[in-house]
Structure 1
């Protein structure tokens, strides 16, 4: 539920945005920033809270984040203006960022050795990322239908208040050593690097989210400039420059937030590249197909959630299956299956036209899409945490989550540019002639291209099973040392 927090909130505000606009008489900018603010703040603060959790303790930060998220969520339901709602959802994104790194770090410390039980635990944990959005759309759509949009936020507050209470009594105490706040600790906190990640990621994602906002405006009579807007280009370029400066800083700073030598591990790099390429398409398909249902098919928020329901069911099955066989089947094969599922999903989504059968195209596309996400998340997440020492587990988790957020923002922005270009200049002949689905299909073909590139990387992976019998591997930092992974109960 911690890792689902951000996507759960995004799904909730997405399906209720029309109700919010009508009730608060919000501007289009206020409505679209309502959707984008949580993801923006969450992505910007993940690495910072990963460092905080590793240095000062994980359980207190974790439980406190759950409670604060619940309290602010309840207060957000009483907002009287669109601007207030935007600010409060941005704050909720910060609390979701502060909950994920300590949660993932505690799991990494509790399950120190790879094992079948660790695979199951992380399979359950990874399920939150792809499933949170769909659960948010369904539950919030139902709450808004029965009562109003405020009820969807209050429902979310109740859910996470209960989760916080359960966490107080069931989450084990953090046994890792805590650091006292002093000058040495401030050096280890890497404040310059932290500032660069927050500002750089924030500006980069803000630019891409603004492009997305303008694409939604294009669905109406207005046709804004999108990528050509001066401040969008400035935000994008400055954000990229700061992120590049962060990488150079981390290579030289003795107390670096991220040990950049970890990228010398070929499997580490290839796993994250493959996962990122697939996740770019995952975000595109889940957003644009939901938008297609609402704009072109005229589905209500609840109907849209119901049509997205196959993702929830298949996601639960795929996560359980991957976790149960991860110690028996080569993880290279699981990554390849995930990449192939992505590719088939995006091709099916792109091959349909307005008026075609939901069961022939959208249904299998949604099912295969979440299979790809779950298989790759389980494998990559486990490998990333196994490559980091116990005292860096939270920063390892936040690195994983930050990359997925950046890929999502990049996918949104690129697909938006494609959508706008095709909508302005539709094809005059061919398969999509005079069909309203053409700009959506263009986005899905781009996603298929990304998944195809990701599939090409899979043959170069050498990662085997994780959590099975003892195996000797390189330590993943390019220094030649060896580490032994031991099956649970073997010592």
Structure 2
């Protein structure tokens, strides 16, 4: 376990971030030039490096842990607070909506004013609001608090990504391993959230699930104060010139544009007059206009929030679109199959969590494998494998009924879901981070995570509308019983989304990433 690389060049996830007898720590945040695989000089010892990567992983896991915890306790929350299905999905969707709207804003803040302070403060604030969420008494208060937790999650990811991108600047197997650990936080955070939520809710109640999150992230706040290296990247003074470079108009357009469009998609089905309700149409139209305005503004602005020229890279655009289509199948699919097990199969949160356990095991294995092969196997093949896994997973959920065997349908579906998520997330994350300079690493992370958050919000909005429509008028084949049909309809949407991503994969042209010699 003390070796970085064996004779065949094989690497492992934990061994990669472990090196005995490395050079003494220095102040500069950069890898040693003599050996890209050496421990970065900013770390005093190997343990500090491991704890930093783990803390960064918890940053991206933050929103997923929250979503997983809510997913497995959703029926208890709905019963206690007397919530409808639409209100219940808003508990999860509100954090994704808020997170997606503010990610680019906080990416710019981190790049201009410093990363470590924003990182640590965000971990602490998430802990505080998780504590507050446990005392919520009404559906609207819980929705609002979860939205605020989504904002704190959005303020944590860009500085974490930015620090990783600067510390592991040069392509190397060590960088692959660090980013594989980081990428694991997204799918595994969801699964561990279900485990934590299921256990705490079974022992106490659903409120304990939020309090447990508060404790966990308070601990990582303290760890982060010590483990996160001092950010030596150049920061900007707060003056008029900096405000110009901050792209205030671009931030305004993207924050309110994404927020309004996401809100319209989430509210459309439950509004008094559906999609024709005045405020739904107003939110949708104004939101779209703001997003179009953002594209035009940043195309010509001297200091754009998002350099529009990056979209000319076909692979960059395709990787994000394929990732988004997969996420639109994964997040709502995971939510509604968990709700199915609670509502239709009458399983307790702890029993639901146990049935989701394959996601943990397969997720760990998939991320270790990704860290080993990103520099060896064509990443196009990894994206193809991920898209196939997503499609097969959703097809299995479509075929699942109330009397179906868990081992025949749900078990393989859960294993395939995380293979799809881990493979695609690793490839997309590495490609996006490599597409922008070190001075914009936090913004790069913001672009990547914004795309993911937006598609989750859209997926929840569409699936909620489908669920309510089919629940009111079950029109599917007699193959499914009436109670199962609304859930099946949401999984059919997942099949369509993941299959579209599968169709787009052949258009990619990506070789290996992270090796000394890249295709």
Q: CA offsets per residue over residues 345-397 of structure 1, 9 Å max, x none?
A: 11111122221111111111111011001100000100000000000000000
Q: Distance in 2 between matches of 1:251 and 1:328?
A: 36
Matched, 1:452 2:509: no
**Residues in 2 aligned to 1:30 and 1:285: alpha-carbon distance in whole angstroms:** 17
Separation in structure 2 between the aligned mates of residue 24 and residue 362 of structure 1, nearest angstrom:
29
In the superposition, the TM-score normalised over structure 2's length comes to 0.84
Say whether 1:41 aligns with 2:41: no
Confirm whether residue 366 of structure 1 aligns to residue 414 of structure 2: yes
* 1:423 paired residue among 436, 452, 471: 471
| Residue of structure 2 equivalent to 1:89 | 146
Residue of structure 2 equivalent to 1:442: 489
* Aligned equivalent of 1:480: none
* Post-superposition offset of 1:243: 1.2
- Alignment check: 8 A CA contact 2:71 2:339 kept: no
Q: Deviations over 1:230-283 (max 9, x none)?
A: 433332232222111111111121111000000111111111111111111112
**Equivalent of residue 376 in structure 2, options 328, 352, 366:** 328
Give 1:105's aligned residue.
162
Partner of 1:220: none
User: Aligned pair in 2 of structure 1 residues 430, 74: CA closer, same or farther (>3 Å)?
Assistant: closer
Say whether residues 1:462 and 2:509 are aligned partners. Answer: yes
Q: Which moved more, 1:452-461 or 1:376-385?
A: 452-461
Q: Deviation of residue 400 (structure 1)?
A: 0.4
What is the TM-score when the length of structure 1 is the normalising length?
0.88
Aligned-pair CA distance for 1:299: 1.7
Residue 385 (structure 1) aligns with: 433
Q: Distance in 2 between matches of 1:91 and 1:430?
A: 43
Distance 1:57 1:428, change over 3 A: closer
The answer (yes or no) to whether the contact 2:74–2:339 under 8 Å persists in 1 is: no
For residues 384 and 87 of structure 2, the distance between their equivalents in structure 1, rounded to whole angstroms, comes to 41
Q: 1:85 to 1:364 in 2, by over 3 A?
A: same
Q: Deviations over 1:428-451 (max 9, x none)?
A: 75533x443233222222222222
C-alpha contact 1:353 1:435 (8 A) present in aligned 2: no
CA distance in 1, matches of 2:84, 2:469: 25
Q: Secondary structure at the match of 2:498?
A: helix
CA RMSD after TM alignment: 2.3
Whole-angstrom distance in 1 between the partners of 2:221 and 2:319? 33
Given that 1:211 and 1:416 are in contact with CA atoms closer than 8 Å, whether structure 2 keeps it comes out as: no
The answer on whether the counterparts of 1:7 and 1:136 sit within 8 Å (CA) in structure 2 is: yes
| CA contact 2:476–2:485 (8 Å) conserved in 1 | no
Map 1:20-59 onto structure 2 (within 5 A). 20=77, 33-59=90-116
Question: 8 Å contact 1:227–1:417 — kept in the other structure?
Answer: no
Partner Cα separation in structure 2 for residue 399 and residue 130 of structure 1 = 19
- Indicate the larger mover: 180-189 or 225-234: 225-234
Aligned to 1:337: 385
1:13 is aligned to 70
Could you say what secondary structure the match of 1:2 adopts? helix
Correspondence 1:153 to 2:210: yes
CA contact (8 A) 1:347 1:445 kept: yes
Distance 1:182 1:8, change over 3 A: same
* 2:190 equivalent in structure 1: 133
Report the Cα offset of residue 225 of structure 1. Answer: 5.5
Q: Larger deviation: 339-348 or 447-456?
A: 447-456
Work out the CA distance in 2 between the residues paired with 1:155 and 1:428.
Answer: 41
| Counterpart residue number, 1:478 | none
Matched residue, 2:27: none
Query: Alignment partner for residue 414 of structure 1, among 439, 453, 462?
Result: 462
Q: CA deviation at 1:326?
A: 0.8
Indicate yes or no: 2:115 matched with 1:67: no
Moved more, 22-31 or 51-60: 22-31
Query: What is the alpha-carbon distance in structure 1 between the residues aligned to residue 105 and residue 424 of structure 2?
Result: 25
Deviates more, 1:139-148 or 1:259-268: 139-148
For the 8 Å contact 2:95–2:150, the answer to whether it is kept is yes
Q: CA offsets per residue over residues 116-173 of structure 1, 9 Å max, x none?
A: 1111111111111122222212212211221233322221111011111111111111
Measure how far apart 1:425 and its partner are: 3.7
Unaligned runs of 5+ in 2: 1-57
Give the match's secondary structure for 2:176: helix
State the partner residue of 2:316: 268
2:338 counterpart of 1:305: no
3-state DSSP of counterpart to 1:181: coil
SS in 2 for 1:112: coil
Taking a change above 3 Å as real, the CA distance of residues 21 and 428 of structure 1, as seen in their structure-2 partners, is: closer
Secondary structure at 1:255's aligned position in 2? coil
Q: Runs of 5+ in structure 1 lacking a partner?
A: 216-223, 473-491
> Is 2:255 the counterpart of 1:208?
no
Tell me if structure 1 keeps the 8 A contact 2:187–2:422. Answer: yes
- 2:170 is equivalent to residue 123 of structure 1: no
Q: 2:299: which partner in 1? A: 251
